[in-house]
Structures are given as structure tokens and as C-alpha cells.
Amino acid sequence: MIQEMINGSIAVLTKPSAQTFEQHERDNLVWALIYAVIASVINGILTAITWPLRVGQIRAQLEAQNVPPDLIETTLAQQGNIINLVLGGIFNTIIGSLIIWGIIYLLGRAFGGTGSFGELAWGISLFSSPLSVAQTIAGAIPFIGGVISLALSLYGVYLVYLAIQSGMNLPAQKALYVAIILAVIAIIFVCVTAGLIAAVSLALGGGFAP
């Protein structure tokens, strides 16, 4: 089954079309989750490899902000160990995937889609899992990593649009509507998250002021 999913991933990533997704479509939620978890484990291993560099970057950023040394050590300690990060990543992958796939499925049904949840999950997993690994690798590349990660994200949005057509049996126009709504939801989520992070940073910064 893994080899079948790898073959499907190669196909949809290199020859993206609704027809390609249809050719490799399966109604198998369990293996869609397994594939996503495998990607999460790989990401955890990659994170472990780059962990010393990541910790050094966090330390440098905090020192540049004149954060007290004791608070820097506390912050670094709160980052957790590698095992916890990997296990947490697996848990978050399962829950996050089910939530995201569920939202897409409900939107697809609202627009008249007739596909099954398993078919949609399988199709999305075929590209989202390898792309997540690629983004983890890109994140470790200095300077151009952010650009590569952004390009992969945009490509992922396009593939979601195609997967919706195939997995939910929707015409291109309705699938586009679903994709646009998803993009709006994602933008709102990012803005709210960024706002909360900024608010916390300002609060901490105010606490450090003499």
C-alpha cells in the first residue's frame, strides 16, 4: 500500500490534474492517516538533525531582544526534547489532518459534492505529506528557504483545488469556490495567530522594560 501511495504522490506532484487524482483515487482513510503520520515522523527526524542550529537561532534572537539570560534558558527549556516533539507532531498531524479534511469535506458537501471522506483524505494525503517534508527541508535552508517554502505552499493550494474536484466529484468552478473559502479561512487563522504572538511579545517586552 505504501508503494501505491508513493506512486500516487509522484503522479499527482509531477502531472497535476483532476484526472490524475481520479486515476490514483482510493477510499481509504486509515492509510491516508498512516501516510501523513509517516511524513510527520520524517519531519521529526529532520527536526532532530537541525535542532542544535534551531536552538542557536532562538537563543540569538532572544539575546538580540535583550531578554534576560535566565528567561532565555527557561524559554529554551520549554521547547521540549526531540522525543516529545516527534510524538507531539504525530498527535498534531492526526488531529490536524482530520480537522482540515473534515472542513474541506463539509464545504464540498455544501456545494453538492458526492465523494466520500476517505477518498478526499487519500487524495489530499498524496501531496500534502511529501510537500510537508519538502517544506521542512526548505525551512533549514538559509536565505532562500522561505521563498521555496512559500512556492511549495502555493503549489499545495493548487493541488487542494484539484483534489477537491476529484475527491468530492465537483465541477471545476464549485471546487474553486471551496478552495477560495479555504484560503480565506487560512488567512484569517494566520492573521489571528500572528496577532496573538505579537500581543504576547509586546507584553513580554513591556515586562522587560526598566
> What average pLDDT does range 143-151 have in this prediction?
87
Q: Which residue has the higher pLDDT, 85 or 41?
A: 41
pLDDT in tens, 150-160: 999 999 999 99
pLDDT in tens, 66-110: 777 777 667 666 665 667 777 777 888 889 899 999 999 999 999
> What average pLDDT does range 172-185 have in this prediction?
92
Rounded CA separation 160/152 (Å): 12
Give the rounded percent of residues in the chain with a pLDDT score beyond 70: 87
Rounded CA separation 10/171 (Å): 24
Give me 69's grid cell.
Answer: 539570560
Give the rounded percent of residues in the chain with a pLDDT score beyond 90: 52
Separation in Å, CA 23 to CA 5, 16, 113, 163: 12, 11, 18, 12
Cα 203 to chain centroid distance, Å, stands at 29
Mean pLDDT in the chain?
85
**Region for 115 from its dihedrals, namely left if φ exceeds 0, alpha if ψ lies in -120 to 50, beta otherwise:** beta
- The pTM of the full predicted model, rounded to 2 decimals, is 0.79
Q: How many other CB atoms are there within 10 angstroms of residue 104's CB atom?
A: 24
